[in-house]
Amino acid sequence: MMKKFKILSKKKIFAFEDKFSIVKTQIEFNGKKHSFGLRESPPFSVIIPKLDNRHFIMIRQQRLGADEISLEFPMGSVKGKDPLQTAITELKEETGYTSGKLTHLISPLFTSPGWSDQKASVFVAELLTKGVQEPEPYENIEVVTIPVSDVDGLIQKGVIFDMTTIASFHCYGRFCGKSSVNIREK
């Protein structure tokens, strides 16, 4: 059985609002002490909005870290809300849609477990009703309809490059009874 290291101490060295903190973490492993930086962030929810059996609702927005326009599923965190309530809130804010059926798909899905504790819960939203988008003041979001059958090609071309969206899509294909590489319009 693999031996886990022992966490000796944690000290917050930086905090950015309620978005994330950087924590200096001291560990001991095999009798030696090591220091690591850990990013502590609140959990978030990812929503896969199914418009129908052939189309997803996705969003385009500029992502600062990549300095590119990203095509992805809506996602976000809402402090103090559970993952289901976060999914409901983020779907409405980012797309304007509400869901008549929201199904938990998978959790936890860690974004970068080597240096961050942030984890996601993934939901599939169905029976969608279009409404008015309510993005945060700093969000510039374009709502788009994407054929399910196009997603693999968009990933291969680098149009969809967000790891959380890619992992969520492949979990959707696996756990919803369809192979993500063989989804075809019905």
pLDDT given at position 181: 31
The one-character DSSP state at 159 is S
* Tokens standing for residue 179: 């192979």
> Domain ranges in the chain?
6-40, 44-175
What is the per-residue pLDDT across 94-115, written as a single tens digit (0 to 9) for each? 999 999 999 999 999 998 999 9
Of the options 2.130.10.10, 3.90.79.10, 3.40.50.1220, 3.40.140.80, the CATH number for the domain spanning 44-175 = 3.90.79.10
Using an 8 Å Cβ cutoff, are 21 and 14 in contact? yes
pTM of the model: 0.89
What is the per-residue pLDDT across 20-70, written as a single tens digit (0 to 9) for each? 999 999 999 989 999 999 999 999 999 999 999 999 999 999 999 999 999
Q: How far apart are CA 146 and CA 165, in angstroms?
A: 13
Beta-bridge mates of residue 98: 129
Closest of 65, 110, 60, 106 to residue 87, by C-alpha: 106
